[in-house]
Amino acid sequence: MKGISTKAVHVGQDPDPSFGDVIPPIHLSSTFAQSAPGEHRGFDYSRAGNPTRARYEACLAALENGDHAFAFASGLAASDAVIRTLQPGDHVLCSYDVYGGTFRLFERILKNQNIEFSFTDLTDFAALEHAVQSNTRFIWIETPTNPLLKIVDIRTTAEFAKSRSIKLAVDNTFATPVFQRPLELGAAVVIHSVTKYLNGHSDIIGGAVICNDAELAEQVGFIQFAAGAVQAPFDCYLAHRGIKTLAVRMQCHQASALQIAEFLEGHAKVETVLYPGLPSHPQHELASAQMDGYSGMLSFYLKGDLDDATQVLKDTRLFSLAESLGGVESLIEHPAIMTHASLPAEVRESLGIADSLIRLSVGIEDVDDLIEDLDRALG
Ligand SMILES: *Cc1c(COP(=O)(O)O)cnc(C)c1O
């Protein structure tokens, strides 16, 4: 099995041996009967392991071409588990425009456990070389970034990290393994907010850690078991079900996003469109080299101020005004007030998260309807 669509449909989906169910049943049980003390059929307690979770984790690993995958109760629980493999005094060098919740987790919780964090523009290789420290253990990136859709060169960053015995961690939520497989490009570990594209239907919160490194896998697996932020069986089932259509959804998300990006680029009320699939994107070439597609997220600066942006956000009908992304339904949001409110105002400003910036998560509705909706709201 090589193709990602085939893996998405088949890995972890062998018919159940009891009745041959083509769709394996959900194993909700918290505990499993033992025939003698310590003798069981592979599972003893569902925090440690659960058949439904195990099937889903096998599929997650296959999608990213990884050897090990761990399902967590949220994307942030997944990131938390990766950082918890560190020791006090260790340092993490992180992209300065990571997801707001990741920034909050690092700065307000994990920093207090004496893990050191610094935040730098990791699209700039000189800045990366300058910011790395002798105690750096992880370089932590997102690419494309949120909400500015900048691209970090995974291969170059991974090579640099390896030369210093540092692990490169890539949050692959925006691209998904359909369009980008960081482990193949040299990353040590991939993190997902499964809440977004992988599940794809905006009806669960979930996270995942995927890696090839056996030692890191053992540590993350132990943290999953011992700290217990596991994904519940029913949510594993839903995410695994959602993944079956991941590849077709992603193709649709990106085809429509490109059409919308082109429409917005030609619109009189729009200043700039940020979408890696547009030839006008400053890193379009790098995006094309490391990605197989550009996904369904795009941002744009309106010609106008906060009031104008607010009007557009209130006036769309198909695009729901909501945080999150990656579902089949289109969403529109205001990063400065909504998703990126946890960043200090001066950080937001220095990044370019202005009051006129609007972010879209393009769903799988008919693109003509989406364009009509935006056109009316912009008018
Ligand atoms: C949403 C998101 C997260 C956090 O995931 P949760 O499932 O909400 O905990 C992390 N990284 C990125 C890029 C995200 O979009």
Q: H or E segment at 83?
A: helix 75-83
Verify that 62 and 199 share a domain, yes or no: yes
Q: Is the CB of 173 under 6 A from ligand 1?
A: yes
pLDDT 10s digits, 69-121: 999 999 999 999 999 999 999 999 999 888 889 999 999 999 999 999 999 99
Verify that 330 and 367 share a domain, yes or no: yes
Q: Is the CB of 333 under 6 A from ligand 1?
A: no
Where among 215, 243, 271 does a domain terminate? 243
Stretch 172-198: mean pLDDT, rounded? 98
Cα separation, 290 vs 292, in Å, equals: 7
Q: Is the CB of 295 under 6 A from ligand 1?
A: no
275 classed as catalytic: no
Verify that 289 and 357 share a domain, yes or no: yes
Q: Which atom of ligand 1 is nearest to the CA of 205?
A: 7
237 classed as catalytic: no
pLDDT 10s digits, 287-299: 999 999 999 999 9
196 classed as catalytic: yes
Q: Which atom of ligand 1 is nearest to the CA of 206?
A: 7
Verify that 259 and 336 share a domain, yes or no: yes
Could you give the count of Cα atoms lying within 13 Å of 82 in the half-sphere of its Cβ? Answer: 34
Q: H or E segment at 376?
A: helix 367-378
Does pLDDT of 1 surpass 80?
no
Cα separation, 267 vs 250, in Å, equals: 25
CATH, residue 218 = 3.40.640.10
Range of the domain at 143: 4-243
Helix (H/G/I), strand (E/B), else coil: 32: coil
**70, β-bridge pairs:** 209
Q: Is the CB of 235 under 6 A from ligand 1?
A: no
- Give 77 Cα–ligand 1 centroid separation in angstroms: 10
In the prediction, which pLDDT does 28 show?
98
Cα separation, 287 vs 292, in Å, equals: 8
Radius of gyration of the chain (CA): 21
Q: Which atom of ligand 1 is nearest to the CA of 325?
A: 15
Evaluate whether 15 touches 62 at the Cβ level (below 8 Å): no
Instruction: Give the closest residue (by CA) to ligand 1 atom 8.
Output: 75
Tokens of 193: 């907010």
Instruction: Give the closest residue (by CA) to ligand 1 atom 12.
Output: 99
